Chains A and B, each alone.
Chain A
Amino acid sequence: MTELNYTIKDFKSDNEVRWCAGCGDFAILNAVQRTMAEMGIPKEQFAVISGIGCSSRFPYYMNTFGFHTIHGRAAAIASGVKAANPELSVWVMSGDGDSMAIGGNHFIHVIRRNIDLNMIVFNNRIYGLTKGQYSPTSDRGFVSKTSPFGTVEDPFVPGQLVIGARGSFFARSIDGNLKLSQSVLKEAEKHKGTSVVEVLQNCVIFNNGIHSEITDPNHRADRQLILEHGKPMLFGAENEKGLIFDKGKLRVVVIGENGVTLDDILVHDAMEEDPTLHLALINMKLPDFPVAFGVIRAVPAPVYDVEMEAQINEIQKTRKITCVDDLLKSGNTWEVTGNVNGSGSSKKCL
């Protein structure tokens, strides 16, 4: 293979990017383009598939093969893309409404099948494109145009759905954190199976600041736990805080207080098959806990598209039917002779 010397420019299309100024989607686009340029994958092997929403405009801005489809169905369409051609690097771009409201069924099933594709969930906790209705990730009581008195329903936590659907990969990032986004996107591509990356995305127009408590630069050291496989779960300005597992629950501790030492702190194992701890990390929220970021789960598991091809190859090794002519003649057939010779048309006229 020839060296691929791509730069971010190679992944930018001619289309003018049409998101609102200040929208978090710009940063995610930047992270994706940069990361793809470094993946060592020929550009024509990328297929970027989206549904409908602000975030789903994504493929138009990528100079790759792209398909902007219909609301909620990107995961199902991408499933067909990957199953039909497992050689491709398939990326699904989907909003919180697109993936978890109208597309909820496809979302859980693509994860359950573990089809080898990468799915970025742009979680702005609002319907952006339709101008600000609450979404399946909006908190109870959230006030929006369609919930003027606050919602009376609880939100989905995307990571919980991924675990519930037996997901093999889940990561979380923030639109503004380019370094973090790039590192989780790389891991997502490397992982064989459905890789779900939730990106906390700011919608400046309809839900500005919805994640600011978490992303606030003045507090982010205390409010974000960036997980790394094999490293202790530490956070805080001086890495002085950490997590321990106590009586079946996660607990925040401070090193040096109450005799806690670095050795007591949990070491992140993203590859642990048992999802208990991963789920606990996904569930962490302010103010009692920091919010977990990075690759939370990356577990090897059988991959649908690989298994599908393997089954075909296996069966073809000993096949008796090698072409359609063989098939047509297989089973019970009989000869008619001594009658008329004709055209063979099956439509019997007068």
Chain B
Amino acid sequence: MKDTKVIELEEVAIRFSGDSGDGMQLTGTLFSDATALLGNDISTFPDYPSEIRAPQGTVGGVSGFQVQFGHKQINTPGDNAHVLIAMNPAAIKANARFMSPGGTIIYDSDSFTEKNLRKANFATDDPFAELNMLDYTKIAVPISSLTQEGLKEFGLDNKSVLRSKNMFALGLVCWMFNRPLEYIEEFIQNKFKKKPVVVDSNIKVLRDGYNYGMNMQHMTPSYLVHPAEIENGTYRNINGNQATAWGLLAAAEKSGLQLFLGSYPITPATDILSALSQRKDLGVKTFQAEDEIAGIASAIGAAFTGSLAVTTTSGPGLALKSEAIGLAVMAELPLVIVNVQRGGPSTGLPTKTEQSDLMQALYGRNGESPVVVLAASTPSDCFYYAYMASKIALERMVPVLLLTDGFLGNGSEPWKIPSMAELPSITPRIAKDAEVFQAYRRDEETLAREWAYPGMKGFEHRIGGLEKNVSGTVSHDPENHQVNSEIRENKVQRVADMIPELEICGDDDGGEVLVVGWGGTYGHLISSVRQLRMEGKDVSLVQFNYIKPLPKNTAEIFSKFKKIIVCELNLGQFAAYLRDQLPQFTYHQANKVKGLPFTVSELKESINKLLED
């Protein structure tokens, strides 16, 4: 027997891909978790169609899950996959463009039937030739028939048998990358606790896949990726939606308030609602409303009663909430609005990522209606920014809109677990003295009003959407409206006093090109800038998490660089905002609206072009 080819890698990206019904998301997630447990840094990217079951075998129905892991810090799931696991011909067609040149393709040769090739719109019987992929390493594995063979004794019907074929692929990949199976087996045991046959059959197939790799060593290369040198500590894997949910829980505990979430399901934000619905043990109240308006309305009601109130949604839902956000602005209630952005406008690309709701977040309401706008930049820092959004809302009596996106929400990475003790304090502005209380009496520094809610004796008062004077009486006085409009804006601007200053990743003294990003593009931007700097280029990065208000030192940092390029997944919304806020600078742009994250290579190209200009 020939020796296995062992390839040692710094980092590797694997893409699992198959029909929507093939269980690729689970396969990818299990592999990622097992990998993180081994101490590699990882970044994941689930990429799936919006139809639950698009026509089987078609390119439109292909569901993919990419994970990159490595020996160093991993900030992106990888532009291209080094290894593709394809459960059918359509998966190859859909993913050819996401492959690294000369990569490895492992595919279920049983699925390469005439019928499936036609469904995937291949004209010939040689898809690899058709796609110009002849110099790729192709490993044909009869996954379906080996799965059937392995489960012969189980007496299961064919459909149930074939449902386990993803486990064969997973076992095989685990062998190739030296991942032990314990974690995955444990997961299967827990998940199907009540169905021992399903546990046994899945584990059998998983092991068959692993053993197949071992026995066919001459064909399948094996890869070695050393654990990453990350900071000491206790780690877990977390995706952005879960981190958001947990950040809100942390803020509720820290502030001593009940957490209330009013929400209506919408991709890709629903997982936050699910995650919090699970936390009855921590006393969370979740209200699945009849629509997005009732979602935010119920949250506003909860804020009126003294809860930490939250509503979560995605673009179309945010549009429905706009009138009610205005009410929260006017009533000056603390409210956190989380918008997990997706491709728009309208229903757009529900399962794909984009950053095109920035203008809607900043301005999408009637009247002068300022809110604080934050954006998270990695799956795990959704925790921190959800926490900060709550802190700002509660301490400044203002609605705070947190922007994440589908890429962050669904993507995951290892996260060093913080402890509650290390999180900043939160002091809600609960009124104490009924003698001096007035609905719109303000703190001179922050301009925040006090919070008094039903149940607090002696504090009875009325608020509402009509313009008011200090005591809370309706006022149509022109001067009063002018003053209050400015106060509401200034109150938001003064949040700049409590947020950290912007940090430069690169040269603190400035230089040639400053790359500017915001929110979820951080991983791709930092990877690009890091690579360019290693190539000797004079490039630095600032990534914005605080959009409104901008950090105080923004202009100072911008002034240190000769050129500024704003990179974002829209047609230039943040660039337009910066032009409005800081018109003294010239902003170049790199924009993408394909429903996909940036790739490092396209970013480097844009930045290089600016360097050469």
Decide whether A and B assemble into one complex: yes
> What is A's interface to B at a CB cutoff of 8 Å?
13, 15, 42-47, 49, 52, 59-60, 62-70, 73, 76-85, 87-88, 105-106, 109, 308, 311-312, 315-316, 319-325, 327-329, 331-344, 346-350
A6 to B384, CA, bound (A): 48
> Which residues 446-482 of B have a CB within 8 angstroms of A?
453-466, 473-474
The answer to whether A311 and B280 touch across the interface, beta carbons within 8 angstroms, is: yes
**Which 10 A-B residue pairs are closest in the complex by CB-CB distance?**
A80-B301, A68-B464, A80-B298, A76-B297, A319-B281, A84-B302, A66-B462, A76-B294, A342-B231, A81-B301
Interchain nearest-CB distance for A348 vs B (Å) = 5
Q: Which residue in B232, B293, B384, B462 is a CB contact (below 8 Å) of A339?
A: B232
Q: Which residue in B230, B279, B283 is a CB contact (below 8 Å) of A336?
A: B230
The answer to whether B39 and A334 touch across the interface, beta carbons within 8 angstroms, is: yes
With A88-B455, A328-B418 as contacts: A334 and B36 at CB distance below 8 Å: yes
Taking the complex as formed, is B250 at the interface, i.e. its CB lies under 8 A from any CB of chain A? yes
The answer to whether A340 and B231 touch across the interface, beta carbons within 8 angstroms, is: yes
Q: Which residue in A49, A315, A336, A338 is a CB contact (below 8 Å) of B301?
A: A49
Q: Which residues of A have CB within 8 Å of B279?
A: 321, 327
7 pairs, A vs B, C-beta closer than 8 Å: A49-B301, A78-B301, A80-B301, A83-B287, A105-B291, A105-B294, A322-B281
Contact with A along B288-330 (1 / 0, CB 8 A): 0111011001111110111101000000000000011011000
The answer to whether A349 and B526 touch across the interface, beta carbons within 8 angstroms, is: yes
Q: Which residues of B have CB within 8 Å of A316?
A: 280-281, 283
Interchain nearest-CB distance for A334 vs B (Å) = 5
> Which residues 417-469 of B have a CB within 8 angstroms of A?
417-420, 422, 453-466
Q: Which residues of A have CB within 8 Å of B293?
A: 73, 76, 106
Interchain nearest-CB distance for A340 vs B (Å) = 6
- Of all chain B residues, the one with the shortest Cβ separation from A18 is B474
- Listed stretches B120-128, B133-141, B373-381, B562-570; interface member: B373-381
Q: Which residues of A have CB within 8 Å of B73?
A: 348
Taking the complex as formed, is B236 at the interface, i.e. its CB lies under 8 A from any CB of chain A? yes
Q: Which residues of A have CB within 8 Å of B289?
A: 76, 79, 109
- Of all chain A residues, the one with the shortest Cβ separation from B39 is A336
Interchain nearest-CB distance for B589 vs A (Å) = 23
With A69-B465, A84-B258, A84-B301 as contacts: A46 and B454 at CB distance below 8 Å: yes
Taking the complex as formed, is B503 at the interface, i.e. its CB lies under 8 A from any CB of chain A? yes
With A67-B304, A80-B262 as contacts: A73 and B294 at CB distance below 8 Å: yes
The answer to whether A67 and B463 touch across the interface, beta carbons within 8 angstroms, is: yes
The answer to whether B458 and A44 touch across the interface, beta carbons within 8 angstroms, is: yes
Q: Which residues of A have CB within 8 Å of B420?
A: 323-325
The answer to whether A81 and B454 touch across the interface, beta carbons within 8 angstroms, is: yes
Taking the complex as formed, is B260 at the interface, i.e. its CB lies under 8 A from any CB of chain A? yes
The answer to whether B533 and A106 touch across the interface, beta carbons within 8 angstroms, is: no
The answer to whether B324 and A70 touch across the interface, beta carbons within 8 angstroms, is: yes
The answer to whether A333 and B378 touch across the interface, beta carbons within 8 angstroms, is: no
The residue in B246, B297, B384, B543 that gathers the most chain A C-beta atoms within 10 A of its C-beta is B297
A76 to B264, CA, bound (A): 13
The answer to whether B464 and A332 touch across the interface, beta carbons within 8 angstroms, is: no
A224 to B290, CA, bound (A): 37
> Which residues 525-542 of B have a CB within 8 angstroms of A?
526, 529-530, 533
> What is B's interface to A at a CB cutoff of 8 Å?
33, 36-37, 39, 73, 75, 183, 229-237, 246, 249-250, 253, 258, 260, 262, 279-283, 285, 287, 289-291, 293-294, 297-302, 304-307, 309, 323-324, 326-327, 331, 377-378, 380-381, 383-384, 415-420, 422, 453-466, 473-474, 503, 505-506, 522, 526, 529-530, 533, 543
- Of all chain A residues, the one with the shortest Cβ separation from B231 is A342
Interchain nearest-CB distance for A37 vs B (Å) = 14
A286 to B415, CA, bound (A): 70
Interchain nearest-CB distance for B232 vs A (Å) = 5
The answer to whether A105 and B454 touch across the interface, beta carbons within 8 angstroms, is: no
Q: Which residues of A have CB within 8 Å of B230?
A: 336, 339
- Of all chain B residues, the one with the shortest Cβ separation from A65 is B454
A44 to B306, CA, bound (A): 14
The answer to whether B234 and A43 touch across the interface, beta carbons within 8 angstroms, is: no
Interchain nearest-CB distance for A316 vs B (Å) = 6
A46 to B291, CA, bound (A): 27
The residue in A44, A63, A84, A106 that gathers the most chain B C-beta atoms within 10 A of its C-beta is A84
With A78-B301, A333-B236 as contacts: A68 and B466 at CB distance below 8 Å: yes
The answer to whether A346 and B380 touch across the interface, beta carbons within 8 angstroms, is: yes
Q: Which residue in A73, A312, A323, A350 is a CB contact (below 8 Å) of B505?
A: A350
Interchain nearest-CB distance for B42 vs A (Å) = 12
A308 to B300, CA, bound (A): 18
The answer to whether B253 and A340 touch across the interface, beta carbons within 8 angstroms, is: no
With A69-B327, A87-B455, A335-B234 as contacts: A106 and B462 at CB distance below 8 Å: no
The answer to whether B235 and A81 touch across the interface, beta carbons within 8 angstroms, is: no
The answer to whether B454 and A77 touch across the interface, beta carbons within 8 angstroms, is: no
Q: Which residues of B have CB within 8 Å of A77?
A: 297-298, 300-301, 304
The residue in B33, B235, B279, B290 that gathers the most chain A C-beta atoms within 10 A of its C-beta is B290
Q: A13-B462, A333-B234 are in contact. List 11 more A-B contacts (CB 8 A).
A: A15-B462, A68-B466, A76-B293, A77-B297, A77-B298, A80-B262, A81-B454, A84-B306, A88-B305, A315-B280, A327-B282
- Of all chain B residues, the one with the shortest Cβ separation from A318 is B281
A343 to B233, CA, bound (A): 10
A45 to B183, CA, bound (A): 52
A337 to B289, CA, bound (A): 46
Q: Which residues of A have CB within 8 Å of B297?
A: 69, 73, 76-77, 79-80, 106
Interchain nearest-CB distance for B516 vs A (Å) = 15
A244 to B216, CA, bound (A): 87
With A88-B454, A323-B282 as contacts: A329 and B464 at CB distance below 8 Å: no
Q: Which residues of B have CB within 8 Å of A332?
A: 33, 37, 183, 236-237
Interchain nearest-CB distance for B522 vs A (Å) = 7
Q: Which residues of A have CB within 8 Å of B304?
A: 47, 67, 77, 80-81
A210 to B290, CA, bound (A): 33
- Of all chain B residues, the one with the shortest Cβ separation from A73 is B297
Interchain nearest-CB distance for A78 vs B (Å) = 6
Q: Which residues of A have CB within 8 Å of B229?
A: 339-340
Q: Which residues of B have CB within 8 Å of A80?
A: 260, 262, 287, 297-302, 304-305, 309
